[in-house]
Amino acid sequence: MRSRLLALTLLATLSLVGCTSSAPEAAPSPTTAPSTATPTPTPAQPVAAGLVVRGGGIELYDSDATLIGSFLWSDETAEALAVLELAFGPAPVPGVREGDGSHYPDYDTYDFGGFVYGTAVGISKPRTEEFLPSWVNVTTGSPINGVSIYTVDGLHVGTPLEQVLALLADPGLTRPAWQGTAYLFDPVDPTRNSNTVSPVVDESGVVVLIDAPRFSGETA
């Protein structure tokens, strides 16, 4: 942070005291006014332009493709919301998605209007040890608050199946989903089963949902 100091120096006027037979009095020493600091400009808030859904988490970029925020699925809720609020504005009042009582906990859900962030609540172990500590669902292909949403491969809601298949590394990287077929991209660890991001294509032949993370070892 740069700050600039403006110093104002005042020179005292030298004057001689009236004539006497004695030596003139010494002129007063020049005095210096205290320096005055100018206010430090507040740094401009970065403006988000694109949000990338990845197998390992979320990345937020400005219009110059500079990374301005990110979080992993295991990061704390406050960290994730700080990034999402930078992208979409103030977080909405959360809803609740109930878990199954065994494999999945309850989740607080934040719906930003076509982008839902779910975060595990009431868990007893660290988030880094939770199977699904958080997740996102994207159901809109339109920008939210001016921010476009896509995968690292450039896929988004509305992308045709032909483009999805052209970018798919392995035809076997598909899984059934209740909306249609999930195609697995951007694995965290390509050498083994790991979290991915999955565009889901329905019977109309276009992506209707971007879901992450989806574990590649899941069969449904």
Confirm if 117 and 60 have CB atoms less than 8 A apart.
no
Residues paired with 211 in a beta bridge: 137, 198
> How many angstroms separate the CA atoms of 11 and 201, rounded?
79
> How many angstroms separate the CA atoms of 54 and 198, rounded?
9
Q: What is the pLDDT of residue 102?
A: 76
Residue 53 DSSP SS3:
strand
Q: What is the pLDDT of residue 33?
A: 55
Q: What is the pLDDT of residue 32?
A: 54
- Asked whether residue 38 is assigned to any structural domain, the reply reads no
- Asked whether residue 27 is assigned to any structural domain, the reply reads no
The predicted-structure confidence for 48-100, as pLDDT tens digits, reads as follows 999 999 999 999 999 999 999 999 999 999 999 999 999 999 999 999 999 98
> Which two three-digit tokens encode residue 31?
């005095």
- Asked whether residue 117 is assigned to any structural domain, the reply reads yes
The number of distinct structural domains making up the chain is 1
Confirm if 61 and 67 have CB atoms less than 8 A apart.
yes
Q: Which domain, by its residues, includes 61? A: 48-215
Residues paired with 174 in a beta bridge: 183
Confirm if 196 and 184 have CB atoms less than 8 A apart.
yes
Confirm if 5 and 35 have CB atoms less than 8 A apart.
yes
- Asked whether residue 29 is assigned to any structural domain, the reply reads no
DSSP run (H or E) holding 88: helix 77-88
- Asked whether residue 21 is assigned to any structural domain, the reply reads no
- Asked whether residue 84 is assigned to any structural domain, the reply reads yes
Q: Give the chain's residues under pLDDT 70.
A: 1-42, 218-220
Q: What is the pLDDT of residue 219?
A: 56
Residue 55 DSSP SS3:
coil
Q: What is the pLDDT of residue 31?
A: 55
Q: What is the pLDDT of residue 43?
A: 72
- Asked whether residue 157 is assigned to any structural domain, the reply reads yes
> Which two three-digit tokens encode residue 47?
């403006």
The one-letter code for the residue type at 94 is P
At residue 84, φ and ψ (nearest 5 deg) are: -65, -35
Residues paired with 49 in a beta bridge: none
- Asked whether residue 31 is assigned to any structural domain, the reply reads no
What radius of gyration, in Å, describes the C-alpha atoms of the chain?
30
> How many angstroms separate the CA atoms of 13 and 15, rounded?
6
Q: Compute the Cα dihedral for 55, 56, 57, 62 and give only its sign.
A: negative
